[in-house]
Structure 1
Amino acid sequence: MIRDRDLIAALAETVRRFVRERLMPAEAQVEDENAIPQGIIDDMRSMGLFGMSIPEPYGGLGLTMEEEALVALELGYTSPAFRSVIGTNNGIGAQGIILDGTDAQKSYWLPRMASGEVVGSFALTEPDVGSDAASVKTTAVKDGDSYVLNGTKRYITNAPVADVFTVMARTGAAGAAGVSAFIVPADSPGLSLGPVDKKMGQRGTRTCDVMFDNCRIPSDALIGGREGQGFKTAMKVLNRGRLHIAAVCTGTAQRLCDESVAFARSRVQFGKPIAEHQLIQAMLADSATETFAGRSMVLEAARMFDAGERIIQQAASAKLFCSEMVGRVADRAVQIHGGAGYMQAYPVEHFYRDVRLFRLYEGTSQIQQLIIAREMLNA
């Protein structure tokens, strides 16, 4: 539920201007350098974007899910890398602490995350364990007043720049009940990073392996102070994260629609702008319709989330639809641009590559289908 519509409208308008005036002009530089300029990161800190969803008592903006979705729709209008640098602090990097952390953990870490002093990261995926969070193999063995971690995490977003990791590790028997969540500072002895991954798209968003070799951390790093709660924490975190990603997908789809309309108006073939050709109009109409559907799904599910309703199915449905939808919109955008759409001189080229990842992280499309079907059958 939006608490103050005028205030949130002003925030969304501020982010909209920031995206268009500051971020969009830097997209080509990010593509070339595979990094976000430090000046932009500093601007994001000063705007409070690192703490959008972190509660106000800890220095964040304390946005509701609907409010966060409205901001994510605006951030989705530019290259995903910009959103990603703040995304883990607001989402999977901080939500585990917000939802299940002890008072001491919240008091120490959340203000630092909200200010952007600390960049958080979420370490779940492993070389042989992706969407199956209950099967993590990284171990955390209690040793006196410490835990000793061993294992490898893979494709971890923001790992090369992270100051702290939320790590899912096994403290007990096989299955979900044996998984626990830990807060692990990046400078912990025994923690090391692999080379930065070379990815298909989303340049500027850096990922790499995170290795734990007898990495010793204090026992109070266990989130919530209780073993066996990690799987539950991960599932609660992912619900909100899926809605956030669905909103970003929809914002990107809107950008692709706008790029397609602008190109169709200016490109002349057969003596008239291609916007006047019916088959071009059909592709534009399909993209606009799907984008509107995605926006409607995201905001409805976000309102349900804020009302405290069970939204496992709705969050999975929104993430499934919006991530698949933006792929179709990107494909049409390239088609409308013709040969130009295959060239790096036009932004639709990198967006076509960028959006492919949305169908993989926060749970693949196939995982979302299984979740939706399970919820339907168990109703």
Structure 2
Amino acid sequence: MPQDGPQPVERELPTDEARDLLGLVRELVQREIRPVAAEEEASCTFPRETFRLLSHSGLLGLPYAEEHGGGGQPYEVYLQVLEELAAARLTVGLGTSVHSLSCHGLAHFGSKEQRTERLPDMLGGGLLGAYCLSEPASGSDAASLRTRAVRDGEDWVLTGTKAWITHGGVADFYTVLARTGEDGPRGITAFLVPADAEGLSAAPPERKMGLNGSPTAQVHFDQVRVPDARRLGEEGQGLTVALSSLDAGRLGIAACAVGLAQAALGEALVYTAQREQFGRPLADFQGLRFTLADMGTQIEAGRALYLAAARRRDAAKPFSRQAAMAKLFCTDAAMRVTTDAVQLLGGYGYTADFPVERYLREAKVLQIVEGTNQIQRMVIARHLAGPESRS
């Protein structure tokens, strides 16, 4: 069985510092993450100590300003770090992306005092975040969320339930979107809620097809009191905070998808080079070579797409359409590539002795999180053709 994983990807990086960073990430991956990934996923073990290590190494705050404890790295570098982490273990890559998403509201909409006081611990102090937007009856239709925050003097009192929360029950803080006003998109406000707040609790983790090392759970808010000093942005600005975060988060999912697909291709290349049938390696058969070629092409195209979107973000250009395209294409590609990897390994690919069956199960969720791929198509079409007519 192959043990070494995929060969390092040749990357175009903007600085020597970025190249050194990627080298350090690869060393950490080989030493701390890849060797235990299969065992810990099989046992549903959440790698909390790995996230503490990533935090103290500066890898949980890469795209944020150095003045607040971040790494000051452009998004095109941060996303390639995510790709490397996800190629070793999707639980870690996706978790890093979710943590970054949970910090986005404070970093971009918080006051100077809020950022100075709270961001350093969130970015490099060993803390782990979660992002609370979806609800049991409010997923793709985020503007219909029902969790409510009611003003009480200098505090807000939150009541409701959030659903499908990555890191639910293990996070140290939650970025929470709650209704503070009228129905619809204008009545929503964002809050930063500590995990130890009285009245906050998590349900048992969901039983999932894959990504079993990453807990996904409902989070309940039962009269949770939050000071107004933990409100992010203006009252009623919450959906703007959420959508801004999701644009960046979709690029994180795209990078994770490419990393997962790269890992699947790596396993397929090793197997087809070693496995012989009819007196020659599988990799000598033209039909299989064509499949490998298609897999590699989809990965390269996905990487180019998410990097192009990241460079637009780094240049302060609009990137919502490009982020949706990257999320759509890369996650669909990951599903195709992991399916092909299982097929190339034949019966072995369907067993837990090889990682490609896990990669296939994990790829599916990437087409769902951070906005389903049907929602991505709606976003893209709106940019290309304008809003739908409502006649």
**TM value normalised by structure 1:** 0.96
The CA deviation at 1:54 is 2.4
SS at match of 2:164: strand
Within the alignment, does 1:321 sit opposite 2:345 as a pair? no
Say if 1:371 and 1:180 are closer, same or farther in 2 by CA, change over 3 A: same
Provide the rounded CA distance (Å) in 2 between the counterparts of 1:186 and 1:111.
Answer: 17
Provide the rounded CA distance (Å) in 2 between the counterparts of 1:124 and 1:43.
Answer: 27
Alignment of 1:109-128 (within 5 A): 109-128=118-137
Provide the rounded CA distance (Å) in 1 between the counterparts of 2:354 and 2:206.
Answer: 25
Q: Counterpart of 1:347?
A: 355
Within the alignment, does 1:43 sit opposite 2:53 as a pair? yes
- Overall identity of the aligned pairs, in %: 39
- Among 60, 79, 87, the residue aligned to 1:77: 87
Q: Counterpart of 1:100?
A: 109
Say if 1:37 and 1:229 are closer, same or farther in 2 by CA, change over 3 A: closer
Provide the rounded CA distance (Å) in 1 between the counterparts of 2:50 and 2:130.
Answer: 19
Q: Counterpart of 2:229?
A: 220
- Among 315, 320, 329, the residue aligned to 1:312: 320
Letter in 1 for 2:284: E
In the alignment, is the contact (CA less than 8 A) between 1:50 and 1:86 conserved in 2? yes
Query: Which sits farther off after the overlay, 191-200 or 2-11?
Result: 2-11
Provide the rounded CA distance (Å) in 1 between the counterparts of 2:52 and 2:148.
Answer: 36
Say if 1:102 and 1:320 are closer, same or farther in 2 by CA, change over 3 A: same
Provide the rounded CA distance (Å) in 2 between the counterparts of 1:127 and 1:160.
Answer: 17
In the alignment, is the contact (CA less than 8 A) between 1:172 and 1:178 conserved in 2? yes
The CA deviation at 1:248 is 1.3
Unaligned runs of 5+ residues in structure 1 are none
Structural RMSD (CA): 1.6
Letter in 1 for 2:285: H
Q: Counterpart of 1:161?
A: 170
SS at match of 2:169: helix
In the alignment, is the contact (CA less than 8 A) between 1:340 and 1:346 conserved in 2? yes
Letter in 1 for 2:224: C
The CA deviation at 1:131 is 1.8
Provide the rounded CA distance (Å) in 2 between the counterparts of 1:84 and 1:334.
Answer: 22
SS at match of 2:198: coil
Within the alignment, does 1:254 sit opposite 2:262 as a pair? yes
Provide the rounded CA distance (Å) in 2 between the counterparts of 1:79 and 1:263.
Answer: 20
Within the alignment, does 1:139 sit opposite 2:148 as a pair? yes
Letter in 2 for 1:205: S
In the alignment, is the contact (CA less than 8 A) between 1:79 and 1:202 conserved in 2? no
CA deviation digits over 1:298-350, x for unaligned, max 9?
11111111111111111000000000000000000000000000100101011
The CA deviation at 1:218 is 1.2
Letter in 1 for 2:338: A
The CA deviation at 1:88 is 2.6
Letter in 1 for 2:266: D
Size of the aligned set, in residue pairs, is 376
The list of structure 1 runs, each at least 4 consecutive aligned residues, that deviate by more than 2 angstroms after superposition, is 36-43, 84-89
- Which one has the bigger helix percentage? 1
Provide the rounded CA distance (Å) in 2 between the counterparts of 1:227 and 1:287.
Answer: 47
Alignment of 1:235-250 (within 5 A): 235-250=243-258
Q: Counterpart of 1:14?
A: 24
The CA deviation at 1:159 is 1.5
Within the alignment, does 1:178 sit opposite 2:187 as a pair? yes
CA deviation digits over 1:9-28, x for unaligned, max 9?
11012112222332111112
Within the alignment, does 1:283 sit opposite 2:288 as a pair? no
**TM value normalised by structure 2:** 0.93
Within the alignment, does 1:302 sit opposite 2:304 as a pair? no
In the alignment, is the contact (CA less than 8 A) between 2:47 and 2:213 conserved in 1? no
Within the alignment, does 1:64 sit opposite 2:74 as a pair? yes
SS at match of 2:139: coil
Provide the rounded CA distance (Å) in 2 between the counterparts of 1:83 and 1:310.
Answer: 25
Within the alignment, does 1:265 sit opposite 2:299 as a pair? no
The CA deviation at 1:3 is 9.4
- Among 34, 42, 45, the residue aligned to 2:44: 34
In the alignment, is the contact (CA less than 8 A) between 1:19 and 1:77 conserved in 2? no
The CA deviation at 1:50 is 1.8
Provide the rounded CA distance (Å) in 2 between the counterparts of 1:191 and 1:212.
Answer: 5
In the alignment, is the contact (CA less than 8 A) between 2:91 and 2:213 conserved in 1? yes
